[in-house]
Amino acid sequence: MKRILSRRAILRGAGVALTLPWMESLVPKAARAQAATYPVRYMPIYLPNGAPDLWRPPGQGAGASWQLSPILEPFAELKAKMLAFTNFENGSTFNADGSSSVEPSHGRQPGAWLTCVDPGQVRQELGVDEANGISIDQIMAQSAVFKDKTALPSLQVGLSTVLSYCDGQPCSNSRSVSWSAPTTPMYKKVDPLEVFNQITGVVSGSDPSTPTDPNAELRARRTKTVVDAVLENANRTRATLGRSDQLRMDEFLSSVQAVEKRVTVVSQGMVAAGCQIVQAPTMATVMPDAPRQNTETYNKGDHADVMNDLIVMALQCDATRIITYMLEDERSEFTYDHVTKRTFTEAGSVETTGTCPEYHGGGQHGSADDFGAITWWNCGKVADLCRKLDAIPEGNGTLLDNCVIHFGSCMHGSNHACNEIPTVIIGGGGGKLALDQHIVFDVRPLRDLHYTIANAVFGLGLADVGKLATGMPPALINEMLAV
């Protein structure tokens, strides 16, 4: 059911269209007798390079019969709102015998993470250099369930600051996991200011040949914030609200102002560091000479924090209900010198001394502890995001309860195998998911997870998802569904 909002819920001014969170005072009087309906959001979050073996949670089943693993420790406060899975595979997308060897792994497996289609097969069929299946996030965005419900059909964001090596494959396979059409990869935006402007309606093209919004440039010269731009409209709207909604609006506008300030600092720091922000890279034979580590002006932790804030803002104000988030390009070669080393045992992990190395060679193919520490840090940033969503009340629950966050990777880990794929779900899917479980399969195609979420949670009614080389038909994962 489409959420009911009046025109007063959108604050406008000087090139800004800022959508307010849901407020009872803004629902038309004729509809106030109806129960408020809240949208269910979908967010796949991509982890590059797989994960160490200690990702797998001990135990299986529900509640106290399973525990978080040492790598998943940062999710401790959220265990009751999680589903962990073991033994998903995506080799069946590539290999008729369902085997898990898919090479070159970094250049092929990421493209199939949300499509469950072999990009190479699509390229061959179409006779083009770059192609793939339509990813599940974009199948959702184009469906009647989501289409035209929000200002932004979907949003693609990420943290990569340097173009990754593409393993001799089309770079769209490893730098994008979202595809809106067979020849249209949806590349992520990594500049927080560009994402902020898109959310608030101040859309400026990242293509240098595209003129930027003059209102955005005018605000920048005058150091005028988005809230300043909509203040007159905001004051008129505030006068129509009840007391509790006035307080909620004040809190929301204050948070927008704070996010904009942090966004500007991080964005300017990226420019000062010489980071190359590219909208749609394709084939690259030489990796660009760009910073591959933190600098005096750029810190990946700050980048992740502000991107989390932007994601929360986009979902809270219903700018979009679908966000695809790549923590890095696949085969990430960023040096994680902002992360302190840790040592891991089956009992947990402890911080030690020194900082972590480059992600791919020094982490995935280096020390298991360093690989664990980098993955643990990424888990922590995703957990931070989920806690922020869980702190926002929505109906009888929270915003997180009305989300499906699919956090995982395309490969197992340092062995590059396309089985035992690290996968967790956080969020209740609007009450559709049976949470606090670790489900262990003998083996299960990743395709079935997308099929179940699309049909059993969002009601898309899809006959199939992807195209498995094994020809195996899709099936619902009933264990993950609430009765």
Cβ atoms 46, 232 nearer than 8 A = no
User: What span, in angstroms and rounded, lies between the C-alpha atoms of 95 and 46?
Assistant: 23
Q: Where are the beta strands (DSSP E) in 384-473?
A: 393-394, 397-398, 403-408, 423-426, 437-445
Contact 148, 92 (CB under 8 A): no
Mean pLDDT within 249-258? 78
What is the pLDDT at residue 278? Answer: 36
Question: What are the sequence ranges of the domains in the chain?
Answer: 38-190+277-480
Q: Binning pLDDT at 50, 70 and 90, where does residue 28 land?
A: low
What pLDDT does 203 receive? 41
Query: How confident is the model at residue 216, as a pLDDT?
Result: 53
Find the range with the poorest average confidence among 76-90, 147-161, 283-297. Answer: 283-297
Return the higher-pLDDT residue of 311 and 150: 311
**Which of the residue ranges 2-16, 176-190, 254-268 would you say has the lowest mean pLDDT?**
2-16
Residue, of 47 and 21, whose pLDDT is higher: 47
Per-residue pLDDT of 202-216, as tens digits, reads 543 333 334 445 455
- Rounded to a whole number of angstroms, the CA Rg of the chain reads 22
- Confidence (pLDDT) at 286: 34
Mean pLDDT value across the chain: 86
Q: What is the mean pLDDT of residues 399-412?
A: 98
Q: Is 4 a residue whose pLDDT tops 50?
A: no
The answer to whether 408 and 47 are in contact (CB under 8 A) is: yes
Mean pLDDT on 224-244: 77
Residue 454 has pLDDT above 50, yes or no: yes
Angle at CA of residue 163, ends 160 and 164, nearest 5°: 95
Token pair listed for 300? 């990946």
Q: Where are the beta strands (DSSP E) in 96-253?
A: 155-158, 179-181, 184-185
Q: Tell the burial category of 254 from Cβ atoms under 10 Å away from its Cβ (0-12, 13-18, 19+).
A: exposed
Confidence check: pLDDT of 6 > 50? no
Greater confidence (126 vs 23) lies with: 126
d(C-alpha 104, C-alpha 170), whole Å: 11
Whether cis (ω within 30° of 0) applies to the bond prior to 104 is yes
Q: Is residue 368 packed enough to be buried (19+ CB in 10 Å), middle (13-18) or exposed (0-12)?
A: middle
Confidence of residue 391 (pLDDT cuts 50, 70, 90): very high
| Strand 423-426 versus strand 403-408 pairing type | antiparallel
pLDDT digits (tens, 9 = 90+) for 49-105: 999 999 999 999 999 999 999 999 999 999 999 999 999 999 999 999 999 999 999
- Exposure of 80 by Cβ count < 10 A (0-12 exposed, 13-18 middle, 19+ buried)? exposed
Q: What is the pLDDT of residue 466?
A: 97
For residues 464 and 461, what is the distance between their CA atoms, to the nearest angstrom? Answer: 9
Measured in Å, how far apart are the chain's first and last C-alpha atoms? 21
At 388, the pLDDT band (50, 70, 90 cuts) reads very high
The mean pLDDT value for 252-263 works out to 77
CATH H superfamily, domain 38-190+277-480: Alkaline Phosphatase, subunit A (3.40.720.10)
Residue 262 CB-density burial (10 A; 0-12 exposed, 13-18 middle, 19+ buried): middle
Measured distance CA(167)–CA(45) in Å, rounded: 22
pLDDT for 106: 96
Q: Two tokens at 90? A: 């995506």
Q: Is the predicted pLDDT of residue 437 greater than 60, yes or no? A: yes
> Which amino acid, one-letter code, is at 429?
G
More confident residue, 220 or 162: 162
| Highest-scoring range by mean pLDDT, 13-27, 55-69, 217-231, 275-289 | 55-69
pLDDT of residue 272: 53
| pLDDT tier at 185, thresholds 50, 70, 90 | very high
For residue 377, CA distances in Å to 51, 327, 349 come to: 12, 11, 12
Residue that has been written with the tokens 């629902």 in this structure: 27
Do 474 and 448 meet the contact criterion of CB atoms below 8 Å apart?
yes
